[in-house]
Amino acid sequence: MNNIFQQNNLVSKQERELRFGTKGAVVWLTGLSGSGKSTIAVKAEKMLTDKGCRCYLLDGDNIRMGLNADLGFSDADRTENIRRISHVAALLAHSGCVCFVSAISPFATDREQAKKAAEKMDVAFFEVFIHTPVEECIRRDTKGLYKKAIDGEITNFTGISSPYEAPSEPFLQIDTLSCTPDEAAQQLCDLVCLYQQLPQITKQLCDVSIAAGVEIMDVYNSDFAVQTKDDRSPLTQADLRANKVIVDFLQKEYPHIAILSEETKDTGARLQNPFCFIVDPLDGTKEFVRRNGEFTVNIGLCAYGKPLAGVVYAPVTDTLWYAAKGCGAYSHSGNETAFFAQNDRIFVSDKTDGFTVMASRSHADERLTAILDNNKDRIKETISAGSSLKGCLIAEGKADIYYRTGLTSEWDTCAMHCVVEQAGGVLRQLDHTPLTYNRTNTLNDKGFYILNRPENTLE
């Protein structure tokens, strides 16, 4: 390895995507043999090709006929099989192609390595679990493989004599007993088509956030009244005027995407839509009322409960933080016209000790105090900020950790969540489970933490 050197391309990923009109990504379909992976993948590939999207399918069996023909089905060979496919898929995605992978990939650690291979190439990775019970796979058994495995003619067969580790947190789970292959393929097609629009959508969310900020500042610089909502939180004309600007724009431009906003009555219809904008037109109304400037406009976009894009705008400082899956996270002055410029890209810090911890201006309790006291030898300093600014400061490496033990709502975290993740950070619930969106219960009632690195949890 000492005599091997990285050769950098003269054509960037961004240039390829602009030239060919497709944002590269790896869409990894995992599931048992006979679950329907290949059937769904070939249909999705055809649908997207017909729409003009550059895509290609790497099918597990096809790869074993050539590149991986030297591999068997031992655990070590399975791992090597996935390692090779992972790197080919990442290269294809980096070239500006949506690469579908249809491979059993039974081990969670191997799929995690596939994700890391894609992220190392700076491309998005979508893990899709094709969930079909083994009994149904045996019933289908069009290749006769399960019968041979049950009869002992095939050894190390996944689901029979070799384990399958189902994904615990797939981006998308498709239950084949409740939908047809065509319907499943359409789900993938819709997801990829939305993903292709993310740069444009994110730019528009930045623009409408700034427009909402104008309304907010008009109220901020005047004498304003403060109402109290049923939950005893404050409400001003700034909240309502900003909400109207944002919701009117989203309804006009993206009528096919649901909206959940703090200041709009929730009918629950959004729950039938896998795609949803999550809006807080004025995050930090208490800070707004105190006139300390630490409030933001938050707009997130989620798909199947996971953040895809997020914009946080601070009107007083005219600062934007924004991110989109597969594009990274960025920050710049709101009046700048360039978006996704590499010199504006932000990343979390790499600290493993001597942390700068964020604290809320308005929220603290005994549980949080105990967490900080138990880890005071690892904490260098604590600084305070309001609203989503805490997560954004961690995303750009100016702080490292934030714990929130009290209640929040989806609109408080969704946009910030995307910015943090795309900057390389972690946002999880206090029980270490994922924080998801467009739920029936919009309260984040478990609390959450934001970390620059996953190993830096405070216990």
Hey, where are the domains in the chain? 21-196, 198-325, 355-456
Q: Determine the Cα–Cα distance for residues 342 and 68; give it in Å rounded to an integer.
A: 37
Strands, E, within 93-191: which ranges?
A: 98-102, 124-131, 172-175
Using an 8 Å Cβ cutoff, are 343 and 324 in contact? no
Average pLDDT for 394-418: 96
User: Which whole-number Å values give the CA distances from 344 to 76, 195, 317, 429, in the listed order?
Assistant: 42, 22, 16, 29
pTM: 0.94
In the chain, the percentage of residues whose pLDDT exceeds 70 is: 99
Give CA–CA dist 245/258, Å, rounded.
16
pLDDT of residue 127: 98
Nearest to 356 by CA among 313, 406, 401: 401
Active-site residue set: 105
CATH number 3.40.190.80 given to 355-456: yes
433-454 tens-digit pLDDT: 999 999 999 999 999 999 999 9
What is the CATH number assigned to the segment(s) 198-325? 3.30.540.10
pLDDT at 66 over 90: yes
Q: What is the dotted CATH code of the domain comprising 21-196?
A: 3.40.50.300
The pair of structure tokens assigned to 245 is: 């600007």
> What does DSSP say about strands 319-324 and 328-333: parallel, antiparallel, or unpaired?
antiparallel
359 has a pLDDT exceeding 90: no
The lowest-confidence range among 202-206, 236-240, 253-257, 434-438 is 236-240
**What is the predicted pLDDT for the residue at 174?**
98
Helices 198-220, 237-253: axis angle to 10 degrees equals: 160
Pairing of strands 426-429, 448-451: antiparallel
Any idea what the Cα angle at residue 303 is, between residues 438 and 443, rounded to 5°? 20
Per-residue pLDDT, averaged over 201-212, amounts to 97
Report the run of H or E that residue 428 belongs to, with start and end: strand 426-429
Total Cβ atoms within 10 A of residue 364? 15
Q: What angle do CA 344, 347, 351 make, to 5 degrees?
A: 145
pLDDT for residue 364 is more than 80? no
Cα-based torsion angle of the residue sequence 6, 12, 13, 19 in order, rounded to the nearest 10 degrees: -150
Q: Which helix (H) or strand (E) holds 444?
A: strand 443-444
Mean pLDDT is lowest, of 35-49, 281-295, 423-437, for 281-295
Question: Considering the chain, what is the average pLDDT of its residues?
Answer: 94
Task: Work out the pLDDT band at 335, boundaries 50, 70, 90.
Answer: confident
For residue 2, pLDDT beyond 80: no
The single-letter code of the amino acid at 29 is L
| CA pair distance 284, 434, nearest whole angstrom | 24
Reported as a pLDDT band with limits 50, 70 and 90, residue 1 is low
The token pair at 401 is: 């950790």
pLDDT at residue 75 in the model: 93
Distance CA 191, CA 389 (A): 29
Tell me if residue 24 falls in helix, strand or coil.
coil
How would residue 362 be classed by pLDDT, with cut points 50, 70 and 90? low
